[in-house]
Structures are given as structure tokens and as C-alpha cells.
Structure 1
Amino acid sequence: MTIEPAFDEPLLKRIAQQDQAALAELYDRYAQILYAVAFKSLGSAQESEEVVLDVFSQVWRTATHYDNSRSRVDTWLFMIARSRTLDRLRRLQRSTKIAVASVDAVKSQPHPLSNDPIEGVLLSERRAHVLTAIAQLPEEQRQAIELAYYKGLTHSEIAAQLGLSLGTVKTRIRLGLSKLRVALGNWEPR
């Protein structure tokens, strides 16, 4: 498909008037190339898809502010995509540090004193199983759960720290907990 930048400005004017069909058309034109650009930096299909969604969400919200004297529409889209990709890279770096710190904290917690050696073994097995289940969650769900349960942050605090909407944080935690429930529901001590 050939992209004709001359047709982009009228689309953006329609988007500024909340025309969803125009947004869909602009999305169809640029989503694949923006995805490829994001994927090259992020190396993750899921994160790259999030970048593309963030770009078009921002276009929807800010189309009225687009200034054709400063850049072409495609250049503007690529600048937004670059910014969102860098934001995600920074967030992933922070979350990796947080995840490592929180997993280390759980691993370093002393085992409760118990006179029953079997209980101690069961607790160790349970801890290992929980850590394994948490490690298998998608990064954004694991990050939200760790911030909530290991760091004690509220959903609002997590949203502010990660730069996400409150609804997104709640959804990620709910989905992550649901996956943990399934993973841990079948667990029985050996």
C-alpha cells in the first residue's frame, strides 16, 4: 500500500472534529509502519501494539493542536511513536529493577520459625511455586501486582507512577490475579 501524505491533513482535520472513520483510515495507513518502528526498539509484539494504540489515542485527543507549519502528519506520527517507545523503554527498565528488587525481597524473607520441618518444606515449596507463577505473568500485569502487593501502593499511586490510567492499572491487576488464581489453584504440595 502506498501512503500519500497529501491525503493525511484532511484526515487529521476530520479527526479533530471527532470523525472516527477518519481515525480508522489514518490507523490503516500508518499502524503497520509505526508498529515496525516500535518493534525495532522494543523487541516485543505486545509492547509495540501498546505503542501504536498510544499513538492513535494521542492523535484522537490532540488532533486539534496539530500544526502543519511545523511538520507533516506522518512526521508528527513518527515523533509521537518515538516518544511513546522511549517512554515504554524507560518504564520497562524501571519495572525490571522493581521486579528484581521485589523478587529478591521475597526470596530474602526469613522462613517463619516452626518446629515442624514438614511445614517449613511446604512453605518453601509454596513460595517457589508463587514466584514461578508470578514470573510467568505478562510484564505489565506482573509489574502492577508487584507494586500493589510487594510495595503496598494503591491503584491510584501505581497509575501515577507508571503513567497509566486508573482503569488500565485495575484491569492489569485483575487479569494478573485471575491468571495467578488459575496457576496456583491447581497446586498441591509434592
Structure 2
Amino acid sequence: MTKEQLYNELNYVNHTREKRSYYANLIINNPEFLPDLIEILFMVDDKISCRAAWVLEFVFNENLDLLLPYLDVFTENINKVHLDPAVRPVAKICEYVAKAYFSKQENNMQVKLKTIHKERIIETCFDYMINDEKIAPKAYSMNTLYLFGKEFDWIHRELVTIIDRDFQMQSSGFKARAKQILKNIKKQ
């Protein structure tokens, strides 16, 4: 399948789990399509990029190792993603990376994730926290930052400051996640 054919196929992706799973499995079974899908994700002003993000979220939920060869390109470009329907899955993928990196089970992410990758993810997640994003990207970013704060001691201070500043203005979903993150930070 060419990049153009993949782009056209993404027109059939919608919010349903069935469609996203179907196309995620197509990519998992044909990982040679992954570079094109990632390239489409970073066509950030094109609404089809959001559909690529939805599929990538499902792909990496099933097999995060597929992201490993693309960590450079992914982390170099995530800060450019700005359309709401694409921001949420990108934030979720960042959370997958952080969870894998801090997992008690040994995995490839712990070996392949470099400091520069972590710094780019951290920067993007802080941007999501301070920008006018919806609750889901903020929630995923909070968790990602909490996890990376175990390694970079300055993160928790900054995260607490942002949460405290924004707490009263945010939704109940934000507040619930924020309370849990603050509780976890205090435990450490």
C-alpha cells in the first residue's frame, strides 16, 4: 500500500473502536506501513492526521515496541500536533511510553528511550498542561509528568504549581486526576 492509498484508507477511520482496531491491526500486521502513518500524523494541519493519531494510539497500545524505531521522529514532532482530536491520542501515547519506561517488568522501552526523548515528551506534556487543552490530554500529561518526575526531581514541583494554579478553574475530571497525582507525589 502506498502512502497515498493509506491516506485514503484513513478516510474510513472513525471514533468507533471497531474501525480503529481494524486499522490498527492492519498496521500491526504490516509494520512497513508505520512510517507512512507516522508521517501522516505529523501533517498537523490536515484533519486526516487526527485519524492517523487514533490508529497509532491503538497500534501502540497493542505493541509499543513498534514505536521504538521511530522514537526520534515521534518525539521531535509531537509538539507540533495541535488539532484537538489528535492531541488526545498523542498524549495517551506519551503516557504509554512513560508507563513502559517505569514498569517493573523489563522491556525494550527502558533500553531505547534516551534522555532527549524524555525531555521532548516532558516539554510537550507541560505544554498540554498549561495550554487550553481538553481534560483527557491534561490527565494523560499529568500522569506522564508524575512518572518522569521520579527521575527528574524538578518535575513534581512544577507539576504541583500548575495543578494548584489551575485547580479551581478545571472540570471535575481534572480535579479527580489532580487529587490522585498530588496524593502520589506526597507519598514519595
Q: TM-score, normalised by structure 2?
A: 0.31
- Greater C-alpha radius of gyration: 1
Q: TM-score, normalised by structure 1?
A: 0.31
